[in-house]
Structure 1
Amino acid sequence: MRSSRWVSLATMILTVSLALPAHASPSPGGAGTGTGPGTGPSAGAEAAPGSPGAGFPDRSVNTRFVTRSGSRLELDGRPFRFAGTNIYWLGLDENVGGVGYPTFFRIRDALDTAKAMGMTVVRSHMMASTGNELSILPGKESGFNEAAFATVDYAIAYAGSIGIRLVLPLTDEWSYYHGGHRDFTDPYGLPSAAFYTDERVIADYRAYVRHVMHRVNPLTGRAYNADPTVMAWEFGNELEGMTSDWINANAAKFRAWAPRQLIAAGRRFDIDADTLAAPGVDIVDVHYYPPTAAKVKADAAAVTGAGKVYIAGEYASTAASTELLDPVAADPNVTGMMSWSLFGHHDRNGFVQHDDGFTMHFPGDDAAMAESVRAQIAFAGKVSPARRAPALGPPLITQVDKRAGLNELRWRGTAGAAGYVVERSARGRWTAAHRGLLTDDRTPWIDPGAAGDVRYRVVPVDRHGRRDAPSEPVRVAASQTVLTDPVESTLLTSGHANVAITPGDGVAVARPAGSSQAWMSWNRPGTQEVRFDVVSRGRPDVQVQTSEDGADWRTVRHDAHHGRVTAKTGGADHVRLLWSGSTGLTRATLRSADPAPVDSAPGEFGLLTPAPGAENVLGSPVFSWSPAAGAGYYTLTVSTHADLRDPVLSGTGITGTSYPAPDALTPGATYHWRVTAVNALGGTNSPVASFTTRPLPATPAVVDDFEAFADSAELARAYARNPGGDPITPNLAPGEAGQAMRLDYALGSAGYAGVTRTFGPALDVWGHEGLELRLDHAGPAANITIQFVTGGIYFEHTLTPASPGPIRIPFTDFDHPGWAPSGPLDLSRFEQLSIYVGGGPGSGRLTVDQVVAYPRSDTTR
């Protein structure tokens, strides 16, 4: 419990200037020989984003505010409807290296991706944050952290420059890394419900909101509350305890502070009646996990019927489909739909990953995600068609490493790219280094065909197959590696001091944080040459230094031409750049010697699984082998012929020692396989091995016939009731050939009731066609959902049995629930079975018997 002696935040703000000093920058290190960057406490730490620099162009295209007319939004007197998404982390991130500020590139790339999908509104509740040292308001005693506004300033300014509007929740119901409304109650030792009733807490929340709204963005020269890019302020994300008095009082305050922007409110699920009745609320925000078109349309009718604007502020991106979005697009009551949630490219290669089950990348990591992305693009085209698709920016080759003498490339992707062509040039002519397109998920990528000195560039291709601006070429010698640091952060450096990273025009600019000299150092053994890209009003004021131990430094000669500083560094292990004045650093490129050159082809190795001669191998095996000394990558060949002709499965560029079969092999067949280890000097083959796959089962596999239960109490222990649902009780009852399970239920406020059995160990129903079960239902009409879990992935199917008897559901008819992540159907690990009843209020009885997995060969019914 925090001390109650803390003064009121509202009182404190009256006594402190709005322009509080930023957090202190690391102490600058020495520039001369003998001064090492690794000796102080700041060495290796990440620098916070600095105050925005003069290089960022203020070119907002959002010159007019979105307005409300009854239950509709308008822009320039015309209806304004939108497709949108959530990019919650724009102000403060958790997904790359722990909690920290996102780089300007990640902010820009994610917003560009939304734009490329045709989206015009983004919701982000990390644009306001409390309760930790990196947030806007770390705590009452510490006051505001002005350094935390740098990423928010940039996100708002950049969104405006590409025509994106923002919905900004001001706090959160939930206590994640960014904080929430409990940060206002905890200092007083109060329960969270006091956020809506205690006058001190309410005053602190309002003071925080006032400070955020009145913030003057140095990139635009406009206060947040005077920027048309901010379409709406939302009281908070999914606030559950709002009262009518609280809503009305805060709406009046916020309206006075931001008179030309809109006020939004919403709870976690369903519609809060108090928001419908509040005269100061413009937009009612409803969330869906999962959504259905019928529910969205019904909620939109209820909200617009009360004279408010309806938006779906969050819906599961995994549920995006034409079946959901086409009817919604045709309904003018639906102003906007915003998926959860979009992530862009990583600073080095690939995408930023998140594990909540609803992560969305463009154009999609797999078929299901790609379908979701296409559905959202189509929805955007219906509700707010774009005049033209934005051009693709150039990628950036961030690294060329050596893997057993072969070049391994990483590149930072570009928003809107469906894929890339890596091109190489040895003597001036550019040619594709591979067939087809490589995706962002294919980085790092090994070039199997390069020999000697070569140049690379990466060409982006959009979803229509059009090529766009290539990356800047990168030269790499036969025994050399390349590292490119775009100085979006200091994570690649071995030390730094007095550095402020600021946004420029499409780049980050590392500038001196004050009048003292700035420096950055890199530790790359055997560095032979460096190039620093700089911006400067005149001749750049720089020094290049090298060191063998990171402590004793010597200055080396450099050349400076056309914004580039180059130097030979003689194989030094440590390099650093020192600069001052008006000079800014935008990129560092280091070329170093191959740390592990090879002198022979890979060594011999053996195959592990499937074991040579193995039988009854499952149809989608994982192939594995022992490592080969000196291997850069492996190729896999699988064939039904002993001489490996006409392979049914081929894989190449495999850097590990295992490879899962992407498709099921034919049951009951014999296969032959071999792996080849490859490096820059040749290839080494493994012996050829054979195995036989398991034949399809010919008889049903029992999931549960309920015969093993001694009494109803034992059955109830096995089939646990879902605690979130309405009452339901399992009991043993007579079945067709023995015992069955009778579920007595009473549907009420939850609208569903269900039971779940977990199998230990998991059942193996591989190769079967689907589930068969006998159902007998009595009571009001109800939907019956059969749900199961295989390999940790949920699948379900909903039906309404017309008459008692056996029902068959092919496994192909089961889909992932909208609230659950997608994944493969691994029937060898059938771990859980659930049975749910859903519908309107009322009591009923469902009898379940003879749950089996039926075989594909069974055609008797």
Structure 2
Amino acid sequence: MRSLRWASLAAVVLVLSLAPPAHAAPAPADLTSLNTRFVTRSDSRLDLDGKPFRFAGTNIYWLGLDENVGGVAYPTFFRIRDALDTAKAMGMTVVRSHMLASTGNPLSILPSKEAGFNDEAFATVDYAIAYAGSIGLRLILPLTDEWSYYHGGHRDFTEPYGLPSEAFYTDERVIADYQAYAEHVMRRVNPLTGKAYNADPTIMAWEFGNELEGMTLDWINTNAVKFRQWAPRQLIAAGRRFDLDPDTLAAPGVDIVDVHYYPPTAERVGADAATVTGAGKVYIAGEYASTAATKELLTPLAADRNVTGLLSWSLFGHHDRGGFVQHDDGFTLHYPGDDERMRASVEAQVAFAEQVSPPSGRPARVGPPLITQVDKRGGLNELRWRGAAGAAGYVVERLRRGRWSAAHQGLLTDNQTPWIDPGATGEVTYRVVPVDRDGRRGTASEPVRVARSQVVLVDPLQTTDLAGGHENVTITPAAAVADGEAWMSWSRPGLQRVRFDVAGRPRIKVQVSDDGSAWRTVRHETDTVRDETDTVRHESGDVRHGRGDGQVTAEIGGAGHVRVLWSGGKGLTRATLWSADPAPVTAPPAAPAPLTPAPGARDVLGTPAFTWSPAAGTGLYTLTVSEHADLSDPVLSATAITGTEHRPSGELEPGVTYYWRITAVNAAGRTHGAVSTFATRPLPTAPAVVDDFTGYADSAQLAAAYARNPGGDQITPSLLPGQGMRLDYTLGGAGYAGVIRTFSPALDVWGQHGLELRLAQTGAAAKITVQFVTGGVYFEHTLDAAPNGVVRIPFTEFDHPSWAGAGPLDVTRFEQLSFYVGGGPGTGALTVDQVTAYPAP
């Protein structure tokens, strides 16, 4: 969590009806909770309805206040719902969220002690709690944070008094302020459920705070008594960051002990769980690195009855306009996974969920997605869609002669939106069909029709980002309307037609303007649904509505601005705007010219990045690479490239001459560029020296090159002339010690097969980890002990550390080499010599 920018939620927006995914049990107007009984504690276990309650879970920290879309702002109700639905689709039953750790900025629940409480900040929290309950999820809610991120933390209670942060645990005024905040939150009545937070079984546990490092036994006991008084039927959780806190084990008022792991190991989790349950408390891993989630880690923990629950860090759902919400802490989790490593993590968590809380009944149907935009690229249609929780992929279909058929081969992912359709240039109707992890088709999106020279914008009215203006309305999670007349406007060049979905028969007026200031009313047509089961047929397909809902359509005639005014009813639920293609094409595109690899280039490494000059009028480019001058039997081919660069994922053969060409395509035709040629570098036949330890004058120079990792135990490098580097280590509390060398400039060991080095070890036995960094990506391999002699480690045996992000192995940029020893207490020495990258046998 990084951003510290403030952003305000639009105060004047339309009051909206927010349709839920079709697979969600309740409708948005029906947030009836499936959680009718509280989770209870029985010694070191949790129970629900008289049965043991164990769970898989995840962290969705941003449900109350987000930082990931356009700066710090309240998340849309769609993003809240979609993320919770995704957790549900993964089989999770508990979500931990920092939604009530909300202090210290203008959008917080408590902006400051002087400002008092901000009731508007509860809207997203109310909805997240209500929606979680409506799909049967339970919540663990920290009330503050050790760290000073955008949502605030415990320093917000000490700073008004000019006190240091540790006074949070000792100063009576600060403790009273924290308790007043907690009581205010717990006693709040959720207007969507009619229940006070402290009477809602959806809230399984209150946590004193996230990773609080300074808790004392007296502080824990004092607050536990208060929490028990204010929320007698809910549980109390507490925990430090990476280790067990004896005070939480000893405090009689603590039900759940929360430990965090970056990275986790089955041995460490199992040992901590045994200690916690031995003290009569419930054990959970409230956070663990999602990158470490494997079946090897989670399967034994599923069988360990001391482990009540594990919650990964951290889940993000779909963006309002398409694709996923992104986050940069290295532990972001998307379903079903952006790459092979993330997909394996998702599958491991799904399997763990099935083991600890097996699902009952058939999986719910996934969908629907929402087509949010159809643009034109060189006259070709480019679709964007908002994904559906639980979808493993999507099929884009076209309607022709009354039948739907796939517009592409295989499944598209959420990361492939926008998608360009190279096969349809005339009028066409599209829909997007989600497919779940078992291959079942879900509920299709509402169809959207677009003409040859037309673009479409669909505004689901989650925010006012797409609107040109608005007045007298407020976004809420259920259909309603502000007092008096409300309006919204949109600005789009060449507007031709609009359609507004409305709820509850409001009085509607549609107006257009050429300059955005002088408005004139235009004729519109209204289709009204008679009851909940009626289906109104529109030109875009069959659309199901509720009682009194309908659609208003109007022809705009090329004006640049449109607005809709309404009063009464329940408001507006969606706007769809058709406009003229702003850059129509009438001729094939210009010819692209190859840039890199440069024509005739030699010794090209691996598979290069192909670049070319832009060609005017292009909708997409195709790339063809072959070993033959006539481009027959291509070894690489790619289509639907929208930029002027492409990095293929496959590897080209070393020492081979290749021919390649770029073709520019638009709705009027295609134009080939010139055929270019290059040759790849042959594989090396001799090893490359990484470090032979001959270039150091003395031990001081060696120690300057191999810096000690300051987080580990003591380790000292010294130079052994003619014998390499000696590392004397003393293992203690950290359990590891290591040295790091950075190469500047980076080494190029392309084509080599692995690392070879000479090792020797004396003294306390220790595992030896060889770690390197290429292109900013970490790789490591651990030996159970150092062999006395030469060891070879192929690059294929190196893997990413569990705490690090994934990435490619680019040994043309060998930037860093580290040696670590790890194990129990003791002293020893490791000798390292003759580190080379060796060629393939």
Provide TM-score, normalisation by structure 2: 0.94
1:530 to 498, 501, 508: 498
Question: 1:828 maps to which residue?
Answer: 812
Question: 2:596 maps to which residue?
Answer: 609
Question: 1:258 maps to which residue?
Answer: 231
Alignment of 1:30-179 (within 5 A): 56-179=29-152
* Structure 1 letter corresponding to 2:445: S
Deviation for aligned residue 1:26: 5.1
Distance 1:131 1:253, change over 3 A: same
Hey, what's the Cα distance between the residues in 1 that align with 2:18 and 2:350?
36
Question: Is structure 2 residue 545 aligned with structure 1 residue 545?
Answer: no
Hey, what's the Cα distance between the residues in 2 that align with 1:317 and 1:252?
34
Question: 2:577 maps to which residue?
Answer: 590
Asked whether the 8 Å contact 1:52–1:219 carries over to 2, the reply is no
Q: Which shows bigger deviation, 262-271 or 798-807?
A: 798-807
Deviation for aligned residue 1:564: 0.8
Hey, what's the Cα distance between the residues in 1 that align with 2:331 and 2:592?
41
Hey, what's the Cα distance between the residues in 2 that align with 1:455 and 1:431?
11
* Structure 1 letter corresponding to 2:211: E
Asked whether the 8 Å contact 1:89–1:127 carries over to 2, the reply is no
* Structure 2 letter corresponding to 1:597: P
Distance 1:24 1:817, change over 3 A: closer
Deviation for aligned residue 1:745: 1.6
Question: 2:178 maps to which residue?
Answer: 205
SS of 1:715 mapped into structure 2? helix
Deviation for aligned residue 1:634: 0.5
Deviation for aligned residue 1:49: 9.8
Hey, what's the Cα distance between the residues in 2 that align with 1:792 and 1:134?
36
Question: Is structure 2 residue 366 aligned with structure 1 residue 392?
Answer: yes
Question: Is structure 2 residue 457 aligned with structure 1 residue 483?
Answer: yes
Deviation for aligned residue 1:769: 1.1
CA deviation map 1:345-403 (0-9, x unaligned): 11111111111111111111111111111111111110001113222121100000011
Question: Is structure 2 residue 741 aligned with structure 1 residue 757?
Answer: yes
CA deviation map 1:275-321 (0-9, x unaligned): 01111000011111111111111111111111111111111111111
Question: Is structure 2 residue 712 aligned with structure 1 residue 725?
Answer: yes
1:619 to 597, 601, 606: 606
Question: 2:389 maps to which residue?
Answer: 415
Alignment of 1:835-854 (within 5 A): 835-854=819-838
Asked whether the 8 Å contact 1:705–1:739 carries over to 2, the reply is no
SS of 2:654 mapped into structure 1? coil
Hey, what's the Cα distance between the residues in 1 that align with 2:140 and 2:9?
31
SS of 1:836 mapped into structure 2? strand
Question: 1:555 maps to which residue?
Answer: 521
Hey, what's the Cα distance between the residues in 1 that align with 2:555 and 2:115?
47
Question: Is structure 2 residue 191 aligned with structure 1 residue 218?
Answer: yes
Q: Which shows bigger deviation, 828-837 or 542-551?
A: 542-551
Deviation for aligned residue 1:721: 1.1
SS of 1:555 mapped into structure 2? strand
Hey, what's the Cα distance between the residues in 1 that align with 2:305 and 2:398?
51
Hey, what's the Cα distance between the residues in 1 that align with 2:659 and 2:300?
51
* Structure 2 letter corresponding to 1:432: A
* Structure 1 letter corresponding to 2:288: Y
1:600 to 562, 570, 587: 587
Structure 1 unaligned runs (5+)?
A: 1-22, 28-45
Question: 2:266 maps to which residue?
Answer: 293
SS of 1:217 mapped into structure 2? coil
Asked whether the 8 Å contact 2:603–2:679 carries over to 1, the reply is yes
* Structure 1 letter corresponding to 2:394: Y
Question: 1:37 maps to which residue?
Answer: none
CA deviation map 1:492-522 (0-9, x unaligned): 1121222211113xxxx4x544x23222111
1:320 to 282, 288, 293: 293
Asked whether the 8 Å contact 1:49–1:150 carries over to 2, the reply is no
Hey, what's the Cα distance between the residues in 1 that align with 2:767 and 2:28?
60
Alignment of 1:573-722 (within 5 A): 573-722=560-709
Deviation for aligned residue 1:848: 1.0
Hey, what's the Cα distance between the residues in 2 that align with 1:475 and 1:127?
43
Hey, what's the Cα distance between the residues in 2 that align with 1:84 and 1:748?
34
Provide TM-score, normalisation by structure 1: 0.92
Question: Is structure 2 residue 236 aligned with structure 1 residue 270?
Answer: no
Question: Is structure 2 residue 216 aligned with structure 1 residue 232?
Answer: no
Distance 1:599 1:219, change over 3 A: same
* Structure 2 letter corresponding to 1:492: L
CA deviation map 1:711-734 (0-9, x unaligned): 111111111111111111111113
Question: Is structure 2 residue 459 aligned with structure 1 residue 520?
Answer: no
2:418 to 404, 423, 444: 444
Asked whether the 8 Å contact 1:541–1:583 carries over to 2, the reply is no
SS of 1:160 mapped into structure 2? helix
CA deviation map 1:129-181 (0-9, x unaligned): 11111111111111111111111111111111111101111111111111111
Query: Alignment length, in residue pairs?
Result: 806
Distance 1:802 1:846, change over 3 A: closer
Question: 2:533 maps to which residue?
Answer: none
Question: Is structure 2 residue 803 aligned with structure 1 residue 819?
Answer: yes
Hey, what's the Cα distance between the residues in 2 that align with 1:771 and 1:302?
41
Deviation for aligned residue 1:128: 3.0
Hey, what's the Cα distance between the residues in 2 that align with 1:725 and 1:25?
48
Distance 1:625 1:52, change over 3 A: closer
* Structure 2 letter corresponding to 1:771: L
CA RMSD of aligned residues (A): 1.7
Q: Which shows bigger deviation, 672-681 or 548-557?
A: 548-557
Percent of residue pairs identical:
74
CA deviation map 1:22-72 (0-9, x unaligned): x99757xxxxxxxxxxxxxxxxxx789999999621321100011110111
